[in-house]
Structure 1
Amino acid sequence: MPKHSRRLLRGLGLVTVLALGATACGSGDEDSGQKQVGAADVQAALKKGGTVTVWAWEPTLKQVAADFEKKYPKVHVKLVNAGTNNDEYKALQNAISAQKGVPDVAQIEYYALGQYALTKSVADLGPYGAGKLEGSYSPGPWNAVKSGDGIYGLPMDSGPMALFYNKKVFDKYKIAVPATWDEYVDAARKLHKADPKAYITSDIGDAGLTTSLLWQAGSHPYKADGTKVGIDFTDAGARKYTATWQKLLDEKLVSPVAGWSDDWYKGLGDGTIATLPIGAWMPANFASGVKNAAGDWRVAPLPQWTAGAHTSAENGGSSLALPELGGNKELAYAFVEYADSGDGVATRIKNGAFPATVKDLNSQEFQNTPFPYFGGQQANKIFADSAKSVPTGWKYLPYQVYANSIFNDTVGKAYVSGTKLSEGLKSWQDKSLAYGKEQGFTVEQ
């Protein structure tokens, strides 16, 4: 491995490239993991059996693991919750650094996968036959697991966006469901005027929501080509976003309540937070966390930046990947394919997951499923349509985890001070680029 590459991401606290010296940078095919693995090799591994250690926090995998073991009695799936997102990534980094205790399979969110792919911390699944699955997934998730010619994970779920809104509140104040973001601002004004305690949504600055809305607006702020990176938050799409969202901030039309807090759940329940633009994985959280508002809420397509358009974006979602230092590659891949493309998908959908697989998104059974919480609405029709409307070509930085960690110190200031959103984005851009340069990336201005 070149010395330059060894410097990359050294300070992330998430991926340690130096630990990969012997394995990820070996010269032989066996060392690099790039040998071709046929279906017969995978089947032979299943027949032989063994233990597959899976690090994941996603709850539906518990049943998937049990079903996999029942189908392949000689295989034991050791499912470990090593923490949610950042906590797991830190544990994974520590294991990679020590070259000890690295799992065979790891859940890695789409925004974080790029840094693992760049440093070859996860195996390219192409040699295992993953390429044949390309048409099986909706565009957003599949694009997220690819890097260059490699496939570094299989999509586990997806988060096409929609607008969740409180119909009871909207009906009470005779507010029409907004079809555009300009109408959304108007609805925010009307609602807050009618009830000064009520807000159109809650937002104290969230990197995931911001990047998703930029994505939907047609912005392409991130450029990433190997070790070359660039950031530009001033393109036409970004200007659409900042101009509209700045109105909500200037007029104090969004609730200053932190997402996922007790007050947030309370606001969703009592109508003081009237909408959520968020991913299609949200229904289960409503059903479990906002039980008192069952029947009040509905789902609508995401408002558009241009009237008459039909564009969405992804918000959240994870892959299952094979850490390069993990073992049992054939057996691990067999589990990942089962969970993310095989029989495990139906199991996960039944238990509340939102699929990334096209056949499931398009199935009548899936689309016609009524949601009692949403008054019997067949919300999956809206979610599935949203998944088809996600623009391709979106990229994250290969150190997006770090970039997101400084969001509140940069863009977040626009939510608590007189800083303009565009200024906050410029600060985020500058500090993210400075970090990239410090880590050895070639920064394009």
Structure 2
Amino acid sequence: MKKITLPLAGVLAAALMLTTACSSSDDKGGDTAPKPGEKVELTYWTWAPNMDKVVEGWNAKNPDIKVTVNKQDGGDPAVTKLLTAIKAGSGAPDVMQAEYQKIPTLVSADAIADIAKEVGDVKAKFPESAWNSVTLGSEAVYGVPQDTGPMMFFYRSDVFEKLGIQAPKTWDEYAAAARKINAANKKQFLGTFSAADAGWFAGLSQQAGASWWGVQGDAWTVAINDANTKKVADYWGGLVAEGAVDNKPMYTPEWNAALNDGTQVGWLGAVWGPGVLEGNAASTKGKWKATQLPQWDAAAPKNGNWGGSATSVTTQSKNKAAAAKFVAWLNTDPEALKALAGTANVYPASVDATATALTKPPAFFENQPDFYTIAAEAAKVTNAFTYGPNVNVAYSSYNDAFAKAAQSKNAAEFSKALDTMQQTTVDDMKKTGFNVAG
């Protein structure tokens, strides 16, 4: 097995800058539909909860194509396990849940297959940004979008009402609200800058117009420290420096407690946030409201995603057509969408989900019946954000560089942290063998 730099052919180049496989995916998996009466068994690796119950609906209607769910850990462990199986030549599932940011890595390793011919014309059923995540700007389709994480703003409406604050529509208004809340109670914050959540910062940067990776001819481009992202970094650096927001990471016992005891009265989260709030701040149920993310330009609203994943067919599957048929059903069928939302507790990527599956607000927001109407607007993410083949390196650099910046409470250090991320990411790509422009 050796690394091979492949030539780029038009837009397909975005996916295949580098491969670690010895043969093409067309040589591995089967691409013939099962014959009538032929029994097919598929394995599906996923970390979404209760997905076995969701799949029961498929198995009941498709007795000739049985899908067995194999629950996995999410994130890097799932990717590592799949790549190990691909390299070994056996042991990979037919179908794999893949986070959007991991798809370039999986494509580069020839681990997931192009199923453009098998899934047909399902593109219209998904937001442009989600579809871009599974195509990487090419004609190839490396999965069908399963769920997305459009960002939203959650805030304690009782605190806002007490202080006479309106929900901020712009980032300037958010900053003003943060200052007013903290001035009234020095222990209370509207939010925190989290140096442990690179995906959160990436979503905020996407909203501002950034795309950290891209393609230029036969090379990758890296623009982590571009003007759009620096605008976001400088904004948060300023708020942290003046003490208007906290500088502690999210998802820590301290942050969890702050949500519950009222010292954190706002959260820039995502559509899946109600479950986080319910789990950490159950006693505050009924006091929160959800709205759109504050805007840089209220006249031209934009948004970003925090999280989300696709369902892909692996290159080791011997039943590519059957697997692709299941993948398309899982993410477009009305009954499947209902099960994804109600049983697996994910926010389906399909644009049809609001009408067919998301008819009641989450339990934690039962006092806000328009929750999913707001979420549907938030899901209209128009700025495509391209992930590169070494997201893990960039994200790790974010954690290190921004932890130091946040601790320093020096606004200038936030911009410098981006420069560190940029250099670290480019150096790693070049060292690994990728062609990087500039």
Instruction: Report the TM-score when normalising by structure 1.
Output: 0.87
Q: Is the 2:3–2:19 contact (alpha carbons within 8 Å) kept by the matching residues of 1?
A: no
Specify every segment of 5 or more residues in structure 1 that has no aligned partner in the other structure, as ranges. 7-15
> Which whole-Å CA distance do the structure 2 matches of 1:353 and 1:332 have between them?
21
Residue 254 of structure 2 corresponds to residue 263 of structure 1: yes
Give the 3 Å change call, closer, same or farther, for CA 333–300 of structure 1 in structure 2: same
Find the partner of 2:213 among 207, 222, 229: 222
For residue 149 of structure 2, give the secondary structure of its aligned residue in structure 1. coil
Equivalent residue letter for 1:181: W
Give the 3 Å change call, closer, same or farther, for CA 86–279 of structure 1 in structure 2: same
Q: 1:441 Cα shift?
A: 1.0
Number of the residue aligned with 1:412: 403
Higher mean alpha-carbon deviation, 400-409 vs 254-263, is at: 254-263
Equivalent residue letter for 2:4: H
Number of the residue aligned with 2:127: 138
1:120-269 to structure 2, matched below 5 A, reads 120-128=110-118, 130-147=119-136, 148-205=138-195, 206-224=197-215, 228-269=219-260
Number of the residue aligned with 2:300: 309
Number of the residue aligned with 1:320: 311
Higher mean alpha-carbon deviation, 48-57 vs 259-268, is at: 259-268
For residue 307 of structure 2, give the secondary structure of its aligned residue in structure 1. coil
> Which whole-Å CA distance do the structure 2 matches of 1:233 and 1:90 have between them?
25
Find the partner of 1:286 among 258, 261, 277: 277
Number of the residue aligned with 1:21: 22
Number of the residue aligned with 2:49: 59
Equivalent residue letter for 1:135: A
Q: 1:422 Cα shift?
A: 0.8
1:144-169 C-alpha deviation (Å, 9 max, x unpaired):
10122210011011111111111122
| Alignment coverage as a number of residue pairs | 420
Number of the residue aligned with 1:350: 342
1:229-264 C-alpha deviation (Å, 9 max, x unpaired):
222244442242123111122123333443222322
1:83-141 C-alpha deviation (Å, 9 max, x unpaired):
1211111211221222221111111101111121233221001121x240010111221
Q: Is the 1:143–1:392 contact (alpha carbons within 8 Å) kept by the matching residues of 2?
A: no
Equivalent residue letter for 1:265: N
Number of the residue aligned with 2:433: 440
1:347-388 C-alpha deviation (Å, 9 max, x unpaired):
112233212111223x2x656524442252121111101112
Give the 3 Å change call, closer, same or farther, for CA 34–245 of structure 1 in structure 2: farther
Find the partner of 1:387 among 370, 379, 388: 379
Equivalent residue letter for 2:221: G
Number of the residue aligned with 1:421: 414
Higher mean alpha-carbon deviation, 375-384 vs 252-261, is at: 252-261
Equivalent residue letter for 1:436: M
Q: Is the 1:367–1:384 contact (alpha carbons within 8 Å) kept by the matching residues of 2?
A: no
> Which whole-Å CA distance do the structure 1 matches of 2:391 and 2:92 have between them?
22
Residue 105 of structure 2 corresponds to residue 115 of structure 1: yes
Q: 1:2 Cα shift?
A: 8.4
Q: 1:23 Cα shift?
A: 5.1
Q: Is the 1:33–1:124 contact (alpha carbons within 8 Å) kept by the matching residues of 2?
A: no
Q: 1:32 Cα shift?
A: 5.7
Give the 3 Å change call, closer, same or farther, for CA 375–196 of structure 1 in structure 2: farther
Q: Is the 1:296–1:375 contact (alpha carbons within 8 Å) kept by the matching residues of 2?
A: no
Q: 1:182 Cα shift?
A: 1.2
Find the partner of 2:93 among 88, 92, 103: 103
Residue 397 of structure 2 corresponds to residue 396 of structure 1: no
> Which whole-Å CA distance do the structure 2 matches of 1:79 and 1:366 have between them?
22
Number of the residue aligned with 1:277: 268
1:202-245 C-alpha deviation (Å, 9 max, x unpaired):
33312111111111111233223586222224444224212311
> Which whole-Å CA distance do the structure 2 matches of 1:120 and 1:226 have between them?
21
Number of the residue aligned with 2:60: 70
Equivalent residue letter for 2:131: W
For residue 158 of structure 1, give the secondary structure of its aligned residue in structure 2. strand
Specify every segment of 5 or more residues in structure 2 that has no aligned partner in the other structure, as ranges. 7-17
> Which whole-Å CA distance do the structure 2 matches of 1:330 and 1:244 have between them?
48
> Which whole-Å CA distance do the structure 2 matches of 1:83 and 1:271 have between them?
32
Sequence identity, in percent? 29
For residue 317 of structure 1, give the secondary structure of its aligned residue in structure 2. strand
Higher mean alpha-carbon deviation, 334-343 vs 228-237, is at: 228-237
Number of the residue aligned with 1:4: 4
Q: Is the 2:259–2:280 contact (alpha carbons within 8 Å) kept by the matching residues of 1?
A: no
Equivalent residue letter for 2:207: Q
Residue 331 of structure 2 corresponds to residue 330 of structure 1: no
For residue 232 of structure 2, give the secondary structure of its aligned residue in structure 1. helix
Q: 1:79 Cα shift?
A: 1.4
1:163-221 C-alpha deviation (Å, 9 max, x unpaired):
11111222233222111111111111111111111111133312111111111111233
- The alignment's C-alpha RMSD in Å is 2.4
Number of the residue aligned with 1:296: 287
For residue 210 of structure 2, give the secondary structure of its aligned residue in structure 1. coil
> Which whole-Å CA distance do the structure 2 matches of 1:370 and 1:103 have between them?
35
Q: Is the 1:103–1:327 contact (alpha carbons within 8 Å) kept by the matching residues of 2?
A: no
Give the 3 Å change call, closer, same or farther, for CA 225–120 of structure 1 in structure 2: farther
For residue 426 of structure 2, give the secondary structure of its aligned residue in structure 1. helix
Q: 1:346 Cα shift?
A: 1.8
Equivalent residue letter for 1:380: Y
Q: 1:74 Cα shift?
A: 4.2
Equivalent residue letter for 1:426: D
Higher mean alpha-carbon deviation, 169-178 vs 100-109, is at: 169-178
Q: Is the 2:221–2:437 contact (alpha carbons within 8 Å) kept by the matching residues of 1?
A: yes
For residue 160 of structure 1, give the secondary structure of its aligned residue in structure 2. strand
